[in-house]
């Protein structure tokens, strides 16, 4: 399973700082609010978006 979040959703949920390294992003990068990021099931669980087994 894959989970897709936009930058705006990730920021609203307070997850962006934890997600940045996964996508090689830093504070100097130009980003768009509607930019989408695809998370693996494991990443989504780590962020608390899915319940673990």
- Number of Cβ within 10 Å of residue 22's Cβ equals 13
Query: Could you read off the pLDDT of 20-37 as tens digits, one per residue?
Result: 999 999 889 999 999 999
What residues contact residue 38 under an 8 Å CB cut-off, 6+ apart?
2, 3, 4
Contact 52, 45 (CB under 8 A): yes
Q: What is the mean pLDDT of the chain?
A: 94
Q: In the prediction, which pLDDT does 17 show?
A: 95
Distance of CA 47 to the CA centre of its chain: 8
Does pLDDT of 5 surpass 70? yes
Specify the pTM: 0.85
Indicate the Cα dihedral angle 18, 47, 42, 3, nearest 10°.
-100
């Amino acid at each position: 399973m894959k989970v897709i979040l936009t930058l705006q959703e990730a920021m609203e949920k307070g997850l962006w700082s934890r997600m940045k390294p996964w996508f090689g992003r830093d504070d100097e990068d130009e980003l768009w609010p509607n930019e989408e990021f695809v998370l693996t099931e494991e990443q989504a669980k780590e962020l608390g978006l899915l319940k673990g087994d």
